[in-house]
Chains A and B, each alone.
Chain A
């Protein structure tokens, strides 16, 4: 009887936590044009890229990837709005991420991530950035 009771309590707790999580996620989805996390999408690479983005890039580029991260106030020019970026050719984006902005004639404040991120992580995050780029979305036939 004790075991059954304990299991019931644990199950109720798990359900409650799960409900809270899905509610929070639903709020994120509701307040943005499209889901920022590719969690529900078919593309696992974009999902992995979103994890990289939210761990490393979010400080400057912000949770909406629009260049309004909490550190953005430190920089002139401000971090790029990655949702509206016209630099959405995958190879070009990977070069910027890997070698840093300065090497590409762009902002010197964009660090070279090649020492920290693996090639796979860089590939993942650029696929994620393409998946949330409004220009790419607008030019994709439906």
Chain B
């Protein structure tokens, strides 16, 4: 029992520390452009896409590292994506073909 207790405490600490270390980066969409062209995050981080335009955006990626589609959402709304694999993620907007950005996901 004495051995299990420190082990469980250590495991709980590692879990909490891991979550605390995972960051959330924010990318705004304003004036039909992403607020940054390039972003570097670490595996486990999330990227939150905030729509600051008065019309809808539809953020998606077809990259092998992370493919996703956040769907169409309007002003003031935001959606997050967990970056769970290292590599390059090319992000686009389905409604505005000129909107593009790249996320580099670095290993932990």
Q: Which residue of A lies closest to B32 (CB)?
A: A116
The count of A-to-B residue pairs whose CB atoms sit within 8 angstroms is 38
Q: Size of chain A's interface in residues, with CB distance under 8 A?
A: 17
User: Which residues of A have CB within 8 Å of B72?
Assistant: 100, 111-112
- B83 CB-CB contact with A under 8 Å: no
Q: Which residue of A lies closest to B61 (CB)?
A: A74
Cα separation A62 to B49 with both chains bound (whole Å): 26
What per-residue 1/0 map shows which CB atoms of A55-94 lie under 8 Å from chain B?
Answer: 1100110000000001101110000000000000000000
- Beta-carbon contact of A109 and B69 below 8 Å: yes
Given A56-B95, A71-B94, 6 extra CB contacts under 8 A: A56-B97, A74-B69, A111-B58, A112-B72, A113-B95, A115-B55
Q: Known contacts A70-B62, A71-B60, A71-B62: does B95 contact A111 (CB below 8 Å)?
A: yes
Q: Known contacts A60-B94, A74-B62: does B69 contact A115 (CB below 8 Å)?
A: no
- B38 CB-CB contact with A under 8 Å: no
Q: Which 7 A-B pairs have the closest CB atoms?
A: A115-B55, A111-B72, A74-B69, A111-B58, A116-B95, A111-B95, A115-B56
Min C-beta distance of B92 to chain A, whole Å: 8
What per-residue 1/0 map shows which CB atoms of A99-142 lie under 8 Å from chain B?
Answer: 01000000011011101100000000000000000000000000
Min C-beta distance of A68 to chain B, whole Å: 13
Return the contact of B94 from the options A73, A108, A111 (Cβ within 8 A).
A111
- B67 CB-CB contact with A under 8 Å: yes
- Beta-carbon contact of A109 and B71 below 8 Å: yes
- B79 CB-CB contact with A under 8 Å: no
Q: Which residue of A lies closest to B74 (CB)?
A: A115
Min C-beta distance of B78 to chain A, whole Å: 17
Min C-beta distance of A98 to chain B, whole Å: 13
